[in-house]
Amino acid sequence: MGFKKTSEIILILGDQLSPDIAALKTADKSTAILLMCEVAAEATYVRHHQKKVAFIFSAMRHFADELRRAGWTVDYVRLDDHDNSGSFRGEVKRAVKRHGTTNVIVTAPGEWRVLNDMQGWPSKPTILPDDRFLCSTADFADWAEGRKALRMEYFYRDMRRKTGLLMNGDQPEGGQWNYDHDNRKPAKGEQHFPDVPRFAPDAITLEVLALVAERFADHFGDLEPFWFATTRAEAHSALAHFVDHALAGFGDFQDSMLLKEKFLNHAVIGLYINCGLLDPLAVCRVVEAAYRKGQVRLNAAEGFIRQIIGWREYVRGIYWLKMPGYAGNNALEATRPLPDFYWSGNTQMACVRACVQQTREEAYAHHIQRLMVTGNFALLAGVDPHAVHLWYLAVYADAYEWVELPNTMGMSQFADGGLLASKPYAASGAYIHRMSDYCKGCSFDVKAKNGPGACPFNYLYWDFLVRHDARLRGNPRMAQMYRTYDKLSDERKLAIADDARLFLAKL
């Protein structure tokens, strides 16, 4: 294909699918060549879920069309193109040769791994800051500077002030910053939950599905049925569907889990925000407007907005503040390999089985399934946090290291020693029983504390506390649990140690 004479190559990565991405803002439509490339290295550095690979390729192809319609010249390299070198580095090298310029411009990648590689490219690309976040990496570093402990809640309040979201002057709407005490109700199945909107694959997506089926059949996950939005318009329609049908119940049932309801009142838009199809601030403004119109209550709107301008921005700040060292953290010195059932779902623990099966089908699980079931089990069993991290990065359609790593290493596995979470998210079966309907279909008895039929989370929880006594006993938020353990009879303590040893030996 012939290209016009160019003065600059603008590289757009698969999670930069926004028309107002920094690298496009100053570019000249009449001369710039936009380079997009499907490369095997990005699909296989961890073996991403088949649905995730298909989603990204299809969204990239649709975005290339969107850019062409807007008058840009796009040089799009498909995975199966002859001579595709298979990596960003190789494709930029080939493009430099093809277009006769070494002037390469790119918006900073989301992942340290890619940035580090880019900085060594012979073309020495100009790397522009990614301004799709509300808090720049420099502003986060300033915020963190000199603080004894970093806590999301204080960061979040600053983000509310900065954006004006749910603010009345300098005061939070309703007089409180956080309405979580109204949230987190268990759902018992009698509530109605809307289904997620499902988008029929168009010709572009069908072609991608065939490619993924051919090239990545050995990756985890079901490729079909494929229903994700792959265009900006569809992603907006998914957001509108959430606001109209699910947002009102978002806070209430945010932490519940039901076997037959994979999505409950969750938005299922993380994958669209993270790849650039939805803008995080615009999403929050739509949610705020729904509250201002009286469509939803404050606890729902506030709870949702906090996830985006609070948690999402906060974990990204931590990631760039602490990388590359953060990925090597292992404060609890956990070394167990990841059990096979994280891939097969083949376990008698009904909760873990349900979450893995759902993950295989949908490349999606909601926050509490990730944190309190698969994450909690890995934490209690002492699984190597790096192996846990690679699993989460591979299996979820919304997973990129900048957001997945702090959630996994920090929040879920306490591998950063408490930088991100003030205490480990460890829980016994009672928590899962309270928040879900998984236990009634389980071969284990959630009420039994010890013995072969007892819920493994019950004794593994105490065993975890015992194993990490030296590190965790002094944590004021754990004091009550240690006091409870101390009061258990010697016989019970022995039974806990025996059951945990037997169970873990069989893993």
What does the binding site for ligand SF4 look like in residue numbers (CB under 6 A)? Answer: 349-351, 429, 432-433, 438-439, 442, 444, 446, 455-457
| Exposure string for 24-33, b = 16+ CB within 10 A, e = fewer | beebeeeebb
Range 405-411 contact pairs with CB under 8 angstroms and sequence separation of 24 or more: 405/319, 405/326, 405/327, 406/315, 406/316, 406/318, 406/319, 406/326, 407/315, 407/370, 408/375, 409/326, 409/327, 409/329, 409/385, 410/315, 410/318, 410/326, 411/315, 411/371, 411/375
Looking at residue 14, the DSSP 8-state letter turns out to be T
13: contact with ligand DLZ by CB under 6 A: yes
Residue 266, contacted partner among ligand SF4, ligand DLZ, ligand FAD, none, CB below 5-8 A by kind: ligand FAD
Is residue 396 at the binding interface for ligand DLZ, with CB under 6 A as the rule? no
User: Hey, what amino acid is at 153?
Assistant: E
Residue span 343-382 as binding mask against ligand DLZ, x where in contact by CB under 6 A, dash where not: ----------------------------------------
Q: Does 234 bind ligand DLZ (CB under 6 A)?
A: no
- Residue number with CB closer to ligand FAD (144 or 497): 144
Nearest distance in Å: CB 65, ligand SF4 = 46
Residue 499 has, within 13 A of its CA and on its CB side, a CA count of: 23
Tell me the C-alpha distance between 352 and 368, whole Å: 12
The verdict on 172 binding ligand DLZ (CB under 6 A) reads no
Q: How buried is residue 303: exposed, middle or buried, by Cβ count under 10 Å (0-12/13-18/19+)?
A: buried
Question: Does 398 help bind ligand DLZ (rule: CB under 6 A)?
Answer: no
Does the protein bind ligand DLZ through residue 43 (CB under 6 A)? yes
For ligand DLZ (CB under 6 A), the number of binding residues is 16
Using the Cα atoms of residue 316, residue 321, residue 325 and residue 328 in order, give the sign of their dihedral. Answer: negative
Quick note: the x/- pattern for ligand DLZ over 80-119, rule CB under 6 A, is -----------------------------xxx--x-----
Residue in 482, 438, 487 with CA at minimum distance from that of residue 461: 482
Nearer Cβ to ligand DLZ (46/411): 46
User: Mask: binding to ligand DLZ, 255-294, rule CB under 6 A, as x and -?
Assistant: ----------------------------------------
Structure tokens at 243: 């606001």
- With CB under 6 A as the contact rule, the residue among 17, 21, 53, 283 that binds ligand DLZ is 53
Strand pairing class (104-107; 9-11): parallel
403 binds ligand DLZ (CB under 6 A): no
Binding site partner of 39, from ligand FAD, ligand SF4, ligand DLZ, none, Cβ cut-off 5-8 A by kind = ligand DLZ
Nearest to 321 by CA among 153, 117, 150: 150
- Amino acid identity of 286? V
Where on the chain is the footprint of ligand DLZ (CB under 6 A)?
A: 13-15, 37-39, 42-43, 48, 53, 56, 109-111, 114, 400
